[in-house]
Structure 1
Amino acid sequence: MMKGEEEAAIEAGEGSRREAKGKTPIMEAPLIGSRGRTGRDDGGVKRGVAIIDFIVRLCAIAAGLGATVAMGTATETLPFFTQFFQFQASYDDLPAFKFFVIANAVSSGYLILSLPFSIVTIARPLAKPPRLLLIAFDTVALTLTTAGGSSAAAIVYLAHKGNTSTNWIAICQQFNNFCQRVSGAVVASFILMVLLILLIVISAVALKNH
């Protein structure tokens, strides 16, 4: 009887060990699968954010180039002039407008050069260095565009309203086409500012989970 009890105890112990070994892989499998799904989901979200970033950059390039061309071609000559005397308004008569053209041209050029880096973030959505580079230079472009747009906006306001305290005369009643063109350029520049802010926010959202 003692020998039978020992054999039964040995068989029971081996059965318990087989059951424990059989349960161990079942407990580990969901954890591995869960990590895989999380990584794929995170990469998919960041790829979607990168695609939005690329589209916004294209819109920002259009706004920046539009502002640069509109201001850079703003000139008007009044019809009543003689051979020795004429009235003309041109963007290069005012340093603020020239700075505006330079600022928007530089920002537009940077945005064009940034497109390959934006494409890299689409191909490698989890890559951190390209996103850090974009957010840094986007901030510089925003600062430059804001400075140029603000200075030009002040001059456009004076052109429309004038300033009697400093004897600044409103010229937009005479130079109507010129004022419309420079006003449109300033509006396009402010649109560019909004898009650059949006690009910075997009990059910050993409970097949040790193």
Structure 2
Amino acid sequence: MEAGDISKGKPGFGANKGVSVLDFVLRIVAFVCTLGSAIAMGTTNETLPFFTQFIRFRARFNDLPTFTFFVVANSVASAYFILSLPLSIFHIVKSGAQNSRIVMVILDTVVLALVTAGASASAAIVYLAHKGNTRTNWFSICQQFNSFCERISGSLIGSFGAVVVLIILILLSAVALSRRP
């Protein structure tokens, strides 16, 4: 849309601009959530002494491939959100852009799938860490590794927060696409 379109009273111009501004803010929120989750999980490390100071038990995020996938998925999502900010600014300036919004919806959906897969897989491991599974003789490790379990649980909260923000972003893009000027 051109600047003169405001005076012509075209419907949806102000609404699409508002949606675009909200899209930009939500992308920053999603970036913070995914980056915080990746950093929290990636720096999780706890060591416990066992009988003597020479024998120790250690819990690190990279002991489990699921947590490594979680860190990679959230890191990729963080990079995507930073790289998508210029396009989001473009949508604020040019609210009527349709093709770039369609591309953003597709990429947002791919990132949503990636973050959801990482968070869901890690949630299963975190559940086992907290509760264990007596049928398979897997014991809860969170009684011993309190700090480790608190950090991995907190990182899941941030990642699932990003999932919610991504769903809202996709819905906002759908609303903006449905309001064709």
Instruction: State the TM-score bracket (shorter-chain normalisation).
Output: over 0.9
Contact 1:120 1:130 in 2 (8 A): no
With structure 1 as the length reference, what TM-score do the two structures score? 0.80
Query: 2:56 maps to which residue?
Result: 86
Give the share of equivalent positions with the same residue, in percent.
53
Query: 2:131 maps to which residue?
Result: 161
Looking at structure 1, the residues matched to 131 and 49 of structure 2 have their Cα atoms a distance apart, in angstroms, of 23
User: Secondary structure of the residue that 1:192 maps to in structure 2?
Assistant: helix
Looking at structure 1, the residues matched to 57 and 107 of structure 2 have their Cα atoms a distance apart, in angstroms, of 42
Looking at structure 2, the residues matched to 81 and 195 of structure 1 have their Cα atoms a distance apart, in angstroms, of 46
User: Secondary structure of the residue that 2:8 maps to in structure 1?
Assistant: helix
Structure with higher Rg: it is 1
With structure 2 as the length reference, what TM-score do the two structures score? 0.93
Query: Which amino acid counterpart does residue 150 of structure 1 have in structure 2?
Result: S
**Structure 2 residue 24 is matched with structure 1 residue 68:** no
Deviation per residue, 1:169-188 (Å, 9 max, x gap): 10001000000000000111
Query: 1:36 maps to which residue?
Result: 8
Query: Which amino acid counterpart does residue 71 of structure 1 have in structure 2?
Result: M
Looking at structure 2, the residues matched to 187 and 168 of structure 1 have their Cα atoms a distance apart, in angstroms, of 24
Contact 2:128 2:140 in 1 (8 A): yes
Looking at structure 2, the residues matched to 188 and 121 of structure 1 have their Cα atoms a distance apart, in angstroms, of 27
Query: 1:51 maps to which residue?
Result: 21
Structure with the higher helix share, 1 or 2: 1
Query: 1:205 maps to which residue?
Result: 175
Query: 2:143 maps to which residue?
Result: 173
Residue 164 of structure 1 deviates from its aligned partner by: 0.8
Query: Which amino acid counterpart does residue 97 of structure 1 have in structure 2?
Result: F
Query: 1:187 maps to which residue?
Result: 157
Q: Extract unaligned runs of 5+ from structure 1.
A: 1-34
Q: How many residue pairs are counted as aligned between the two chains?
A: 174
User: Secondary structure of the residue that 1:126 maps to in structure 2?
Assistant: coil
Query: Which amino acid counterpart does residue 39 of structure 2 have in structure 1?
Result: V
User: Secondary structure of the residue that 2:59 maps to in structure 1?
Assistant: strand
Runs (4+) of structure 1 exceeding 4 A deviation are none
Deviation per residue, 1:144-198 (Å, 9 max, x gap): 0000000000000000000011111100010000000000001111000000000
Residue 80 of structure 1 deviates from its aligned partner by: 3.9
**Structure 2 residue 117 is matched with structure 1 residue 147:** yes
Q: CA RMSD in A?
A: 1.3
Residue 81 of structure 1 deviates from its aligned partner by: 5.5
Structure with the higher strand share, 1 or 2: 2
